[in-house]
Amino acid sequence: MNDNKNNPPMMDRLYRLLDPLHIDRHVLSLFILVGAALVVMSILNPGRFLSTANFQSMAFLFPELALLSLAMMLTMLTGGIDLSIIGTANLSGILAALILTRLLPGNAGPGLTVIYILLALVTAVACGAVCGSLNGWLISRVKISPILATLGTMQVFLGLALVITRGRAIFGYPDAFLALGNGSLIGVPIPFILFLIVAVLLAILVNRTVFGIHLRLLGTNPVAAVFSGIRVSSVLYRTYLVAGIIAGLTGILLIARTNSAKAGYGSSYLLQAILVAVLGGVSPAGGFGTVLGVSVAVLGLQFLASGFNMLQFSNFAKEFIWGAFLLLSMVINYLVNHRRNK
């Protein structure tokens, strides 16, 4: 008679083998699912999916959703949420677009163009910081629940963007600016480089700083956080401030890649960012989640999206399969945790 303890399932043996790496089991499950998606899409699209051109295309596309998902992860770690990140990104991008199209002289030389590009970048980041600060103030000082506060600011930012643009697209940027969304550095797409920089800095912030420890404790047990002497209001304010800055950076990538800025652009990213955060192991109740998990989740969805486009799937089918992918990940994670607890 075989003993389950002496003959653990294959998944458990794999987890034990990789345990010295200190990688969360949910992240390991995600790696397996993403690997499976990569294999399936490679089989369904032989010779096309594993091409260099396809991977370069994905490296240009997925950083936008990845950055928004990281911003969402940060707010969800506190037990909150930010529904205004798309509005923040669009408003930041629109202000940057106005500087590049309305203020930049048509006969500007390279030096002056670079100055205006830097001004546009600073304006977009500052706009994201202001939007994030407003969210943080409403949540930490006025004590409005995160979902209601950011729902309200989402409408405010969208309204401001519509008033500024009158519903029209703003396009026609300098080539040097467009390189931020479509250019490469030593063969590596610039949007991917920006994503890596933000992901590394955010991982350090969350895992290696006092602020990150306080943020996680606040999400895990708000009462214990208060009695531990943590300045809850300050932690919440800074969390939404950082999320707003990341959204502002994303706005730059959005308009640089598409050469266009519009009030309602990227609205589908909101639900996708929430989906990616949950799929990446971020607890909606707060306290748990990793940058690595969110990054792997984005890669998995990008593999599926790229493969579906090659197979000419409809958007409805994509939404269905993404939802199924999320449910499958949660079921596997539940089964693994249940078996481990037993």
Q: Which of 88, 75, 136 is nearest to 274 (CA)?
A: 75
Task: State residue 167 phi and psi, 5-degree precision.
Answer: 80, 5
Q: Please name the residue that has the structure tokens 């994503």.
A: 195
Report DSSP state, residue 171. E
**Which CATH architecture fits 27-35+50-327?**
Orthogonal Bundle (1.10)
Q: Cβ neighbours of residue 298 under 8 Å, at least 6 residues apart?
A: 62, 65, 66, 69, 276, 280
β-strands 260-261, 188-189: how paired? unpaired
Burial class (CB in 10 A: 0-12, 13-18, 19+), 52: exposed
Low-confidence ranges of the chain (pLDDT < 70): 1-26, 314-319, 321-322, 325-326, 329-330, 332-342
Long-range contacts of 230-236 (CB under 8 A, 24+ apart): 232/140, 233/140, 233/141, 234/140, 235/78, 235/211, 236/78, 236/80, 236/136, 236/139, 236/140
DSSP one-letter code for 99: I
Whether the CB-CB separation of 173 and 259 falls below 8 Å is answered with yes
pLDDT tens sequence across 153-162 = 999 999 999 9
Amino acid type, 62:
F
Give the per-residue pLDDT at 317: 67
Question: What residue type is 246 in one-letter code?
Answer: I
What value, to the nearest 5°, has the Cα angle with vertex 247 and ends 243 and 252?
150
**Which pLDDT does position 80 carry in this prediction?**
92
| Domain assignments of the chain as residue spans, ordered by start | 27-35+50-327
SS3 260: strand
Q: pLDDT of 84-114, one tens digit each?
A: 999 999 999 999 999 999 887 777 788 888 8
Residue 272's nearest CA partner among 57, 64, 38, 32 is 64
pLDDT at 233: 92
What pLDDT score does 84 carry?
A: 94
Residue 40 has a pLDDT of 83
Would you say how long the chain is, in residues? 342
Instruction: Look up residue 289 and give its two tokens.
Output: 């989640």
- What pairing do the DSSP bridges indicate for beta strands 188-189 and 184-185? antiparallel
